[in-house]
Amino acid sequence: IMSHKHKANKVSYGRSSAGIEPKALMLGSEGCLGVITSAVIKIWPLAEEISHESVLFPSFDAGLRFVKDLSNQRTLKPASCRLLDNEQFRLGQAMTGEQSSLESFKSY
């Protein structure tokens, strides 16, 4: 980590990986210190139902159309939706060490 410092009267002030130097608080933090003047916090209630679903598509383009349609409709409000190609899916499965419940489907 590089420290961006300048010399003023043989004393260096600036960023430090060990924390903020009290002198730097008074003489300038050079981007290390911010003052929050206002904040907005949005809070949503906990979901009444939690479920996870997987859908197989004949092509990535078909999956992309589904995701776009899902984002435009108002009935379902998923917290997240991920579109994975076959390589990403297999990599994720390999990293978990668990066998996929979709393993019985053949890849076409």
Question: Which residues make up each annotated binding site for FAD?
Answer: 30-36
- CA torsion through residues 98, 101, 103, 107, sign: negative
- CA distance linking residue 63 with residue 46, whole number of Å: 28
Per the annotation, where are the binding residues? 30-36
- CA distance linking residue 85 with residue 100, whole number of Å: 15
In the block, which residue shows the tokens 């859908």? Answer: 55
Tokens of 96: 């978990």
